[in-house]
Structure 1
Amino acid sequence: MAVKDDSKEWARYAKELGVNLQRLRVERGLTQERVAYDAGLSRYQYQRMEWGKIGKDTPANPTLKTIMAVAQVLGVTLDELLPPSWPDLHAR
Protein backbone atom coordinates (compact mmCIF):
# COMPACT_ATOMS: atom_id res chain seq x y z
CA MET A 1 0.00 0.00 0.00
CA ALA A 2 1.38 3.40 -0.97
CA VAL A 3 2.03 6.02 1.67
CA LYS A 4 0.15 9.29 1.26
CA ASP A 5 2.35 12.21 0.18
CA ASP A 6 2.73 14.54 3.11
CA SER A 7 5.29 17.18 2.20
CA LYS A 8 5.32 18.89 5.58
CA GLU A 9 5.97 15.62 7.40
CA TRP A 10 8.71 14.66 4.94
CA ALA A 11 10.32 18.09 5.32
CA ARG A 12 10.34 17.63 9.10
CA TYR A 13 11.79 14.12 8.79
CA ALA A 14 14.51 15.32 6.38
CA LYS A 15 15.41 18.12 8.81
CA GLU A 16 15.64 15.65 11.72
CA LEU A 17 17.90 13.42 9.61
CA GLY A 18 20.11 16.45 8.95
CA VAL A 19 20.34 17.22 12.65
CA ASN A 20 21.37 13.61 13.32
CA LEU A 21 23.99 13.75 10.57
CA GLN A 22 25.53 16.93 11.92
CA ARG A 23 25.51 15.70 15.54
CA LEU A 24 27.17 12.40 14.66
CA ARG A 25 29.73 14.07 12.40
CA VAL A 26 30.70 16.62 15.04
CA GLU A 27 30.89 13.93 17.76
CA ARG A 28 33.41 12.09 15.59
CA GLY A 29 35.46 15.21 14.86
CA LEU A 30 34.90 14.97 11.10
CA THR A 31 34.47 17.77 8.61
CA GLN A 32 31.71 17.89 6.04
CA GLU A 33 34.38 17.54 3.37
CA ARG A 34 35.78 14.35 4.92
CA VAL A 35 32.37 12.68 5.30
CA ALA A 36 31.36 13.69 1.79
CA TYR A 37 34.61 12.47 0.21
CA ASP A 38 34.58 9.15 2.05
CA ALA A 39 30.92 8.59 1.12
CA GLY A 40 31.52 9.42 -2.54
CA LEU A 41 29.55 12.68 -2.46
CA SER A 42 30.35 16.28 -3.17
CA ARG A 43 30.58 18.55 -0.14
CA TYR A 44 27.52 20.43 -1.42
CA GLN A 45 25.48 17.20 -1.67
CA TYR A 46 26.39 16.36 1.90
CA GLN A 47 25.68 19.89 3.12
CA ARG A 48 22.18 19.69 1.65
CA MET A 49 21.61 16.47 3.59
CA GLU A 50 22.62 18.20 6.83
CA TRP A 51 20.41 21.17 5.98
CA GLY A 52 17.53 18.82 5.21
CA LYS A 53 16.90 20.79 2.03
CA ILE A 54 17.96 20.82 -1.60
CA GLY A 55 16.27 24.13 -2.33
CA LYS A 56 14.39 26.87 -0.54
CA ASP A 57 11.18 24.87 -0.23
CA THR A 58 12.33 21.41 -1.30
CA PRO A 59 13.24 18.88 1.39
CA ALA A 60 16.24 16.62 0.88
CA ASN A 61 15.43 13.14 -0.39
CA PRO A 62 18.68 11.14 -0.41
CA THR A 63 18.73 7.63 -1.82
CA LEU A 64 19.10 4.63 0.45
CA LYS A 65 22.52 4.02 -1.10
CA THR A 66 23.62 7.53 -0.10
CA ILE A 67 22.27 7.18 3.43
CA MET A 68 24.02 3.82 3.83
CA ALA A 69 27.33 5.24 2.56
CA VAL A 70 27.18 8.13 5.04
CA ALA A 71 26.22 5.79 7.89
CA GLN A 72 29.23 3.62 7.08
CA VAL A 73 31.56 6.63 7.10
CA LEU A 74 30.13 7.75 10.45
CA GLY A 75 30.37 4.21 11.82
CA VAL A 76 26.71 3.93 12.77
CA THR A 77 23.77 1.72 11.89
CA LEU A 78 20.76 3.04 10.01
CA ASP A 79 18.80 2.80 13.26
CA GLU A 80 21.26 5.18 14.89
CA LEU A 81 21.24 7.58 11.95
CA LEU A 82 17.60 7.81 10.93
CA PRO A 83 15.01 9.65 13.02
CA PRO A 84 12.88 7.25 15.09
CA SER A 85 9.85 7.06 12.82
CA TRP A 86 7.75 8.78 10.24
CA PRO A 87 4.69 10.12 12.12
CA ASP A 88 1.54 8.07 11.54
CA LEU A 89 3.32 5.79 9.08
CA HIS A 90 1.77 2.66 10.50
CA ALA A 91 -1.68 4.23 10.73
CA ARG A 92 -1.93 4.85 6.98
Structure 2
Amino acid sequence: MARTDDELEWPSYGFSFSRRLRYIRRHRNLTQEQLAHLSGMHRNQVSNLERNTSRDGGSADPHLSTVYSLARVLRVPPEMLMPDAAVAVTLRSRETADDTAWGAVEVELSRQLITELPREEAAPRSLGARPRD
Protein backbone atom coordinates (compact mmCIF):
# COMPACT_ATOMS: atom_id res chain seq x y z
CA MET A 1 0.00 0.00 0.00
CA ALA A 2 1.44 3.38 -1.00
CA ARG A 3 1.98 6.02 1.64
CA THR A 4 -0.21 9.10 1.37
CA ASP A 5 0.94 12.64 2.18
CA ASP A 6 -1.16 12.75 5.34
CA GLU A 7 0.02 9.40 6.74
CA LEU A 8 1.93 9.37 10.02
CA GLU A 9 5.66 8.75 9.48
CA TRP A 10 5.91 6.20 12.29
CA PRO A 11 9.64 5.45 11.78
CA SER A 12 10.47 9.01 12.89
CA TYR A 13 8.57 8.49 16.15
CA GLY A 14 10.12 5.04 16.63
CA PHE A 15 13.56 6.55 16.11
CA SER A 16 12.89 9.23 18.72
CA PHE A 17 11.63 6.58 21.17
CA SER A 18 14.75 4.48 20.60
CA ARG A 19 17.07 7.42 21.29
CA ARG A 20 15.18 8.33 24.46
CA LEU A 21 15.23 4.74 25.75
CA ARG A 22 18.96 4.31 25.18
CA TYR A 23 19.79 7.71 26.69
CA ILE A 24 17.77 7.10 29.86
CA ARG A 25 19.01 3.51 30.24
CA ARG A 26 22.61 4.65 30.07
CA HIS A 27 21.92 7.50 32.46
CA ARG A 28 20.51 4.94 34.89
CA ASN A 29 23.72 2.94 34.52
CA LEU A 30 21.97 -0.20 33.25
CA THR A 31 22.97 -2.61 30.50
CA GLN A 32 20.41 -3.86 28.01
CA GLU A 33 20.56 -7.22 29.76
CA GLN A 34 19.81 -5.67 33.16
CA LEU A 35 16.94 -3.57 31.82
CA ALA A 36 15.49 -6.60 30.07
CA HIS A 37 15.72 -8.76 33.20
CA LEU A 38 14.16 -6.14 35.46
CA SER A 39 11.31 -5.41 33.04
CA GLY A 40 10.54 -9.04 32.20
CA MET A 41 11.73 -8.81 28.60
CA HIS A 42 14.36 -10.52 26.52
CA ARG A 43 17.56 -8.56 25.83
CA ASN A 44 16.87 -8.81 22.09
CA GLN A 45 13.61 -6.92 22.60
CA VAL A 46 15.40 -4.07 24.38
CA SER A 47 18.08 -4.08 21.69
CA ASN A 48 15.46 -3.94 18.93
CA LEU A 49 13.67 -1.06 20.64
CA GLU A 50 16.94 0.87 20.94
CA ARG A 51 17.76 0.23 17.27
CA ASN A 52 14.21 1.07 16.14
CA THR A 53 13.71 -2.33 14.55
CA SER A 54 11.15 -5.09 14.91
CA ARG A 55 11.19 -8.80 14.16
CA ASP A 56 9.39 -8.21 10.87
CA GLY A 57 12.00 -5.69 9.72
CA GLY A 58 9.88 -2.59 10.30
CA SER A 59 10.26 0.16 12.86
CA ALA A 60 9.86 -0.53 16.56
CA ASP A 61 6.27 -0.14 17.71
CA PRO A 62 6.14 -1.08 21.41
CA HIS A 63 2.92 -1.93 23.20
CA LEU A 64 1.77 0.56 25.81
CA SER A 65 2.38 -2.06 28.50
CA THR A 66 6.00 -2.30 27.34
CA VAL A 67 6.46 1.46 27.60
CA TYR A 68 5.03 1.47 31.13
CA SER A 69 7.14 -1.50 32.20
CA LEU A 70 10.31 0.18 30.93
CA ALA A 71 9.34 3.47 32.58
CA ARG A 72 8.76 1.70 35.90
CA VAL A 73 12.17 0.04 35.85
CA LEU A 74 13.90 3.23 34.68
CA ARG A 75 11.99 5.19 37.35
CA VAL A 76 10.72 7.83 34.96
CA PRO A 77 7.25 8.95 33.92
CA PRO A 78 6.20 7.11 30.73
CA GLU A 79 6.03 10.43 28.90
CA MET A 80 9.83 10.71 29.16
CA LEU A 81 10.08 7.77 26.78
CA MET A 82 7.44 9.10 24.42
CA PRO A 83 8.56 11.47 21.65
CA ASP A 84 6.66 14.73 21.33
CA ALA A 85 4.37 13.72 24.22
CA ALA A 86 3.44 17.27 25.17
CA VAL A 87 2.58 18.57 21.69
CA ALA A 88 0.00 17.84 19.02
CA VAL A 89 0.94 14.91 16.79
CA THR A 90 2.42 15.90 13.44
CA LEU A 91 3.18 13.67 10.47
CA ARG A 92 6.82 13.40 11.54
CA SER A 93 8.42 13.54 14.99
CA ARG A 94 9.84 17.01 15.61
CA GLU A 95 12.74 15.42 17.50
CA THR A 96 14.14 13.94 14.28
CA ALA A 97 14.28 17.25 12.44
CA ASP A 98 18.01 17.74 13.01
CA ASP A 99 20.80 17.35 15.54
CA THR A 100 19.81 20.60 17.23
CA ALA A 101 16.30 19.27 17.89
CA TRP A 102 17.71 16.08 19.44
CA GLY A 103 20.22 18.13 21.44
CA ALA A 104 17.35 20.03 23.02
CA VAL A 105 15.69 16.73 23.93
CA GLU A 106 18.91 15.47 25.56
CA VAL A 107 19.20 18.65 27.61
CA GLU A 108 15.60 18.36 28.81
CA LEU A 109 15.92 14.64 29.60
CA SER A 110 19.12 15.30 31.55
CA ARG A 111 17.46 18.08 33.51
CA GLN A 112 14.50 15.88 34.40
CA LEU A 113 16.66 12.88 35.29
CA ILE A 114 18.95 14.91 37.51
CA THR A 115 16.10 16.53 39.41
CA GLU A 116 14.13 13.29 39.83
CA LEU A 117 16.64 10.70 41.02
CA PRO A 118 20.44 10.51 41.20
CA ARG A 119 22.11 7.80 39.10
CA GLU A 120 23.44 5.87 42.08
CA GLU A 121 19.95 5.35 43.46
CA ALA A 122 18.50 4.26 40.12
CA ALA A 123 20.63 1.19 39.40
CA PRO A 124 19.78 -1.85 41.48
CA ARG A 125 22.66 -2.76 43.80
CA SER A 126 22.79 -6.38 42.63
CA LEU A 127 23.15 -5.33 39.00
CA GLY A 128 25.70 -2.54 39.38
CA ALA A 129 27.82 -3.30 36.28
CA ARG A 130 28.55 -0.43 33.93
CA PRO A 131 26.52 -0.42 30.70
CA ARG A 132 28.47 -1.78 27.73
CA ASP A 133 25.84 -1.73 25.01
TM-score band by shorter chain is: 0.7 to 0.9
- 2:13 and 2:70 mapped to 1: Cα distance? 17
User: In structure 2, the residue corresponding to 1:61 is in which secondary structure?
Assistant: coil
What is the one-letter code of the residue matched to 1:60? A
1:69 paired to 2:72: no
Match of 2:90 among 68, 82, 87: 87
Higher Rg of the two aligned structures: 2
CA contact (8 A) 1:24 1:74 kept: yes
**Structure 1 consecutive aligned stretches of length 4 or more whose deviation exceeds 4 Å:** none
What pairs up with 1:18-33 in 2 under 5 angstroms? 18-33=18-33
> Hey, what's the Cα distance between the residues in 1 that align with 2:75 and 2:49?
17
Distance in 1 (alpha carbons) for counterparts of 2:91 and 2:48: 26
Aligned-pair CA distance for 1:53: 1.1
**Amino acid aligned to 2:15:** K
Aligned length, in residue pairs: 84
**1:5-61 residue CA offsets vs partner (Å, 9 max, x unmatched):** 53xx10010010000000000111100001011111000011111111115850111
Distance 2:57 2:7 in 1: 15
Rounded to whole Å, the distance in 2 between the matches of 1:5 and 1:55 is 23
Alignment of 1:4-15 (within 5 A): 5-6=7-8, 9-15=9-15
Amino acid at match of 1:26: R
* RMSD over equivalenced CA pairs, Å: 2.0
Change (3 A) 1:73 1:57: same
Task: Indicate if the aligned counterparts of 2:11 and 2:59 stay in contact, CA closer than 8 A.
Answer: yes
Does structure 2 retain, via aligned residues, the 8 Å contact 1:15–1:53?
no
Identity across aligned pairs (percent)?
30
- 2-side partners of 1:75 and 1:16: how far apart? 19
TM-score (norm 1): 0.81
Aligned-residue offset at 1:87? 1.6
What amino acid is the match of 2:23? R
Q: What is the distance in 1 between the residues matched to 2:90 and 2:31?
A: 31
Q: Is there any run of 5+ residues in structure 2 with no aligned partner, and where? A: 1-5, 93-133
